[in-house]
Amino acid sequence: MTFLDGKRVLVTGGTGSLGQALVRRILSGEEGQPSRVTVLSRDEAKQHEMRLAYAQQPQATDDIIYAAARDALAFHVGDVRDYDALRWAVAEADVIVHAAALKQVPTCEYFPEEAFRTNTGGAANLARAVREAGNVEVVVGVSTDKACKPVNVIGMTKALSERILVEANRHVPNTRLVCVRYGNVLASRGSIIPLFQEQAARGGPLTVTVPEMTRFLLSLDDAVSVVFAAMKHAAAGEIIVPKLESARIVDVAETIIGDRPAAIEYTGIRPGEKVHEVLVSEEELPRTVERNGFFTIGSVLEYAQEAPALREEYSSRNPTLEGERLRAVLAPFLSSGGGP
């Protein structure tokens, strides 16, 4: 038997890029066959698209909509800001992946209260619902490198959501609440690669903030694998951090351009952006160990019991992806005529 056999799985924000990739992998059975996977999101249109794709139907019919309750994949329209909607879904879940979030940096800067209500308030609602339900085995909160040494609203709100989920372990001894923290997911909705692809297809220019900006990169499949690892192996209150490579954003832009006659235009740093991201801060080093191929940050509420795995903060400052290695990582997103 594998981990998800017979489990009821809830994915908040399940219509997002990560959520959809996660649902596909869960339904594939690679971690066992769940009894049901429920997607909770406030986007009924994306839920509708997912339902049709799952049923392999080109359009909706009554039997597709009303028979959905008998399928392995179920949908619940609701918002993590709404405690009552979340409580209903949590009451019927054994395993939860909390991926619902407002994540675009400028949007969160201009609408900080909205980001707080979704990112921080949503985590608080989830922790309360899990505590009151008493039936959940594990919760995996999806965080971001921006939560480490945060300078922007998304980072601040996600840092608080990490702490809320970690602290909730004190009240639910039969539940493991853990987090995953990683960098930019390649080609996820709202990320830089779809923008660069569109700009390059129009002949440019490709807009880059500043030449020195760097970011950690990982694929959607790798992001899902990190969630699975945390689900299976993380102890209560731990944050799982994958070992990632980083690249300069201007190098990503040049690789997407290839041999097309498109220019790069520098636009300056947007509100709330960092030049370099950090996945493990100096303050977290004493409680960061290496386990199962990942860095694991121990709970801030407990003392570390093992020797630290890192000697300095884990930053994207020194890029490791350049030239042909970067091109290999970006190969799925390059046009057939593109060159290095």
Looking at domain 8-183+219-243+282-311, what is its CATH homologous superfamily? NAD(P)-binding Rossmann-like Domain (3.40.50.720)
**Mean of all residue pLDDT scores within the chain:** 90
Residue 207: which pLDDT band, with cuts at 50, 70 and 90?
Answer: very high
pLDDT band (50, 70, 90) for residue 1: low
pLDDT of amino acid 168: 97
Please tell me the predicted confidence (pLDDT) of residue 337.
41
Query: Annotated catalytic residue: which of 146, 149, 158, 274?
Result: 146
Burial of 126 (0-12, 13-18, 19+ CB in 10 A): buried
By C-alpha distance, which of 121, 136, 221, 149 is closest to 178?
Answer: 136
pLDDT over 80 at 68, yes or no: no
28, pLDDT greater than 60: yes
For the segment 220-243, the average pLDDT, to the nearest whole number, is 96
Picking from 141, 42, 156, the residue whose alpha carbon sits closest to that of residue 97 is 141
Residue 338 burial (CB < 10 Å; 0-12/13-18/19+)?
middle
pLDDT at 213 over 80: yes
pLDDT tens digits for range 257-299: 998 889 999 999 888 889 999 999 999 999 999 999 999 999 9
- Percent residues over pLDDT 70 in the chain: 93
Q: In which element (H, E) is residue 106 found?
A: helix 105-110
Tens of pLDDT, residues 84-138: 999 999 999 999 999 999 998 889 999 999 999 999 999 999 999 999 999 999 9
Q: Is 232 a catalytic residue?
A: no
Give tens-digit pLDDT for 140-187.
999 999 999 999 999 999 999 999 999 999 999 999 999 999 988 887
Q: Would you kindly state where each structural domain of the chain is located, as residue ranges? A: 8-183+219-243+282-311
**Residue range 308-323, pLDDT digits in tens:** 899 999 999 989 999 9
pLDDT of residue 189: 74
